[in-house]
Structure 1
Amino acid sequence: MSETVKIISPVDGSVYAERPLASQAELDRVVATAKRAQADWARRPIAERNRFALAALEALVAMNDEIVPELAWQMGRPVRYGGEMGGVQERTRYMVEIAESALAPERYTDKPGFTRYVKKDPVGVVLVVAPWNYPFLTAVNTIMPALIAGNSVILKHAAQTLLVGERFAKAFQAAGLPDGVFQNVVLSHAQTEALLGSGAIDHVNFTGSVAGGRAIERAAAGTFASLGLELGGKDPAYVRADADMQHAIANLVDGAFYNTGQCCCGIERIYVHESRFDEFVEGFVDLTKQYVLGNPLDQATTLGPMAQVRFADWVREQTAEALRKGAKALIDTSAFAMDKPGTAYLAPQVLIDVNHQMSVMREESFGPVVGIMKVRSDEEAVPLMNDSPYGLTASIWTRDEDAAIAIGDQVETGTVFMNRCDYLDPALVWTGVKETGRGAALSRQGFDTLTRPKSYHLRVAI
């Protein structure tokens, strides 16, 4: 009997779905098919590849009514939020829109008698190792541009959200994509590492933990496969004295607790100018208390369970450690009946009197807890914003654009926001620094990651 992977639903702890791991023979066929299919796919015009991408997008969007409750069962997001198709459409359509110009050869005409240009060839076979927290959005960031650029794609989705891979496969099948250009596989960690070490993969994109990223690097070592690694964040927000306070409160509460805080670019720590601290905290707490923790299949629920009990236990541990070291909790969790130890259901929590000796202010929480700290100036805020192993996004809340840019220039991060947070603009490169990883997704730079330059130096006049 073959080994299987089970989706344990955070809703009630039941087995929601179960799938067999691919056998070695099946995986060998997947890789061989991907290589054969890619050569023909790359010869097709970009416009044709774009049409397939848009047809698959249409098929995916048509499944959304089924996808939304499926996601609730798999990873706990409340059905009231309607899934991820808005972002999937925005990102796919943008990459389709820019493909012709972004993938066009770079031509140089300054030397008469020569034809000189740099062509962007697809890298070949791309492996996408996708996470569970935004299972469609994180996957589509690489899948669609990789296919549009002429690569074949193998998707290995997280065990928690295996059915997402099947949805992608159905969408591409409905679009009539040629066999082998996109394939979904169910693999163990060991199988994934062996696949990377085989040399059959030309590029891998991984979104997940730092430990997972290191495992990917070790597995691919010596194969010369290129890597795209997004490994998490501890994203800070800084609320200056001149901020629009109601706007900042509303958006930062959402940025901290949407998706139960399970977002790489969610807000995990907030620094507020001392002159506005009490006002900000009062408003932040009042809005946080309005969340409804419950079954994600209930339309009234605004905060679902975390994806796994162990994730909730980590946030409980971080919070307890902060309280032992002097932090003060401002949310009475007894008001949230579903919050019970040993379950994936966890109430939102707001901490003050925090400092950077506490894990909750430096290490990724990936859950519904946020620390709020008072600062006296920009000069005090910037070193605190940088005092983390991660650097994905940072947001600055101010009416002064020049100040935001000056602060942003000093913050070690991949994206600088002003008066917004927790959003991917497909026109702007998605990247990070420090232990957040390396590589680039979306935008023109995203296509560069998924192609390799090839120079043509032709002497036409002799």
Structure 2
Amino acid sequence: MQDLTIIAATGTALPAPRQNRHYIAGAWVDSAGDTIDRLSPAHGVLVSRSADGTAADAEAAIAAARAAFDDGRWSRLSGRARAAVLLRVADLIEANVDDFALIETLETGKPISQARGEVAGAADLWRYAAALARTVQGDSHNALGEDMLAVVLKEPIGVVSIITPWNFPFWILGQKLPFALAAGCTCVVKPSEMTPSTTVMLCDLLAQAGLPAGVVNVVLGYGQTVGAVLTAHSQVDMVTFTGSTAVGKQITRTAGDTLKKVALELGGKNPQVIFPDADLASAADAVTFGTYFNAGQCCNAGSRIIVHEDIADDFVARVVALSRRVAFGDPLDPATQVGAIVTPEHAAKIDAAVQAAVAEGASVVLGGAALAVPGLGPQFYQPSVIRGVTPGMAIARDEVFGPVLTVLTFRTLDEAIALTNDATYGLSAGVWSENIHTCLAFARAAQAGTVWTNTWMDGFPEVTFGGMKQSGQGRELGRYGLEEFLEVKSLVMRVGRTRTPWVNGP
């Protein structure tokens, strides 16, 4: 182990395991199937035991959401009434940050300080969605002639299946669910089988806030059973999914049989481009953050840098020095910045990607191996920086989803743009330069849904998020995040008895 900053086990007493059940039509429901145990990635103890949903459980949840939508108990409420409920949910989330953050830390392995920030930040997403609930509007066309008037209405799309991932279970739910509810939709949510608890805990808050029964339903379990029903069922009008590109493609194929709408937020291989005139200290810090935030298990991870060859050695040295100071270790210590890898299998996959890069001729400047934290165990991975990477290498093109940074170099702006766009993904990109013309030229040419200039991963509820190419389709957050859950209907009206008969009278 190479002179790293490690935080050993704190010895904090852990709570008893949670027992998670489905939430269908406003009631807690045991599954006809088995249960799923979740062990803490960092501590190796049982965190939660959850119902393992069946197709019948998923169908019951869909039926509840369908009934709740069709009878208008939520979809026909005023925007003001829906907003009031969402605001109460936000208040309740803020009142329960510590409880939610603890279970999220134990299930995901992420640092407790990060989990607290994400849970508290999710409350702001609910508040912003509440504001949007009162702004749903269409268009009018009053220049069609004196005897015609047309209006374009925007209505809730219907029943929405929401399938969320394990890396940001509560935050990503907050990017989807409150916006669907603001639009007037009803929902069936399937969280990852590895991190279900905060989604289940939210159901109690929804009930306390006055959300009618059946408007939000939660079914636990695996994608092969529950997820398959939620994407294929004819009574589901839309699927929104965050996860891997491979699964997103499968969802698109399955949903195509019923031509339901699909919104996807998928993978990324996100570059940060550093020019010689950049503030190198700020850029190095942002690159370090972008690489190791959530242990690199983040679709927006800044997993590759494209640095000008004149400053490459100096810049990499800065990043390596900062990487040694990033605190890896017990997620329950507030000082910890990077926690555990989600599963042993995923840790092995990260390491395999690094070793394959070495076999292809890359060199490991830092890390490149598992990390054993005293008192906790081996389910951690060292901060890793890989040089000698060429554009054709797998590690330069494929999503590693771990604390691993790859380094490429460039000479000209055009070359930097070409390297940026030479990817199947197009989620986000960044550029570092004190020259605004350089930043604007890069931002306009980069094929990415978000381009950051002289920063990384700053986000706001008001600013839309989503990807190009194989990073997904559709958008979340901002006004566009609400629009995803609305259907457009044209209403054409004739004023008076002015229509010329088509059939001649007697």
TM-score range, shorter chain: over 0.9
* Residue 11 of structure 1: aligned partner: 42
Displacement, 1:377? Answer: 1.4
Displacement, 1:422? Answer: 2.0
Superimposed CA distance per residue, residues 108-157 of structure 1 (whole angstroms, 9 cap, x where no aligned partner): 22233332111101011111000111111111111001001000011100
Correspondence for 1:73 among 100, 106, 127: 106
* Residue 444 of structure 1: aligned partner: 479
Q: Is the 8 A contact 1:339 1:347 kept in 2?
A: no
TM-score, normalised to structure 2's length? 0.87
Take 1:344 and 1:448, find their aligned partners in 2: how far apart are those partners?
A: 41
Residue 127 of structure 2 corresponds to residue 93 of structure 1: yes
Sequence identity percentage: 30
What does 1:361-440 align with in structure 2 at a 5 Å threshold? 361-440=396-475
What does 1:199-348 align with in structure 2 at a 5 Å threshold? 199-332=234-367, 337-338=372-373, 343-348=378-383
What does 1:75-224 align with in structure 2 at a 5 Å threshold? 75-81=108-114, 82-101=116-135, 103-111=136-144, 112-189=146-223, 190-224=225-259
Change (3 A) 1:314 1:28: closer
Take 2:422 and 2:369, find their aligned partners in 1: how far apart are those partners?
A: 33
Q: Is the 8 A contact 2:35 2:49 kept in 1?
A: yes
For 2:50, the aligned partner's letter is R
Displacement, 1:23? Answer: 4.5
Take 2:431 and 2:130, find their aligned partners in 1: how far apart are those partners?
A: 31
Displacement, 1:232? Answer: 0.9
TM-score, normalised to structure 1's length? 0.95
Displacement, 1:339? Answer: 9.5
Change (3 A) 1:198 1:240: same
Q: Is the 8 A contact 1:393 1:432 kept in 2?
A: yes
* Residue 41 of structure 1: aligned partner: 74
Take 2:284 and 2:102, find their aligned partners in 1: how far apart are those partners?
A: 30
Displacement, 1:403? Answer: 1.9
Take 1:235 and 1:397, find their aligned partners in 2: how far apart are those partners?
A: 14
Change (3 A) 1:110 1:100: farther
For 1:444, the aligned partner's letter is R
Change (3 A) 1:175 1:412: same
Displacement, 1:363? Answer: 0.2
Which range moved further: 110-119 or 239-248? 110-119
5+ long unaligned stretches in structure 1: none
3-state DSSP class of the match of 1:241? coil
Residue 390 of structure 2 corresponds to residue 359 of structure 1: no
Change (3 A) 1:331 1:23: closer
Change (3 A) 1:284 1:452: same
Take 1:113 and 1:447, find their aligned partners in 2: how far apart are those partners?
A: 34
Superimposed CA distance per residue, residues 71-112 of structure 1 (whole angstroms, 9 cap, x where no aligned partner): 1110111113324134313322223223433x1121222233
Change (3 A) 1:27 1:113: same
Which range moved further: 78-87 or 143-152? 78-87
Take 1:250 and 1:86, find their aligned partners in 2: how far apart are those partners?
A: 24
Displacement, 1:334? Answer: 8.3
For 1:15, the aligned partner's letter is L
Displacement, 1:25? Answer: 4.5
Which range moved further: 373-382 or 11-20? 11-20
For 1:182, the aligned partner's letter is V
3-state DSSP class of the match of 2:176? helix
Superimposed CA distance per residue, residues 185-216 of structure 1 (whole angstroms, 9 cap, x where no aligned partner): 11322232133222121111010111211221
Take 2:397 and 2:488, find their aligned partners in 1: how far apart are those partners?
A: 39
Which range moved further: 180-189 or 292-301? 292-301
Say what the alpha-carbon RMSD is for the aligned residues: 2.0
Take 1:351 and 1:11, find their aligned partners in 2: how far apart are those partners?
A: 25
3-state DSSP class of the match of 1:43? coil
Take 2:60 and 2:288, find their aligned partners in 1: how far apart are those partners?
A: 48
* Residue 53 of structure 2: aligned partner: 22
Take 1:344 and 1:34, find their aligned partners in 2: how far apart are those partners?
A: 39
Take 1:196 and 1:64, find their aligned partners in 2: how far apart are those partners?
A: 32
Q: Is the 8 A contact 2:65 2:214 kept in 1?
A: yes
Take 1:456 and 1:170, find their aligned partners in 2: how far apart are those partners?
A: 39
Take 1:113 and 1:191, find their aligned partners in 2: how far apart are those partners?
A: 52
5+ long unaligned stretches in structure 2: 1-31, 499-506
Change (3 A) 1:456 1:28: same
Q: Max radius of gyration: which structure?
A: 2
Displacement, 1:337? Answer: 4.7
Superimposed CA distance per residue, residues 315-368 of structure 1 (whole angstroms, 9 cap, x where no aligned partner): 11111122222222222568965299x942111101112112322211001110
Which range moved further: 164-173 or 107-116? 107-116
3-state DSSP class of the match of 1:371? strand
Take 2:295 and 2:87, find their aligned partners in 1: how far apart are those partners?
A: 31
Which range moved further: 363-372 or 275-284? 275-284
Displacement, 1:68? Answer: 1.6
- Whose helix fraction is larger, Structure 1's or Structure 2's? 1
Change (3 A) 1:312 1:10: same
Change (3 A) 1:285 1:276: same
> How many aligned positions are there?
460
Q: Is the 8 A contact 2:142 2:149 kept in 1?
A: yes
Take 2:82 and 2:370, find their aligned partners in 1: how far apart are those partners?
A: 53
For 1:202, the aligned partner's letter is D
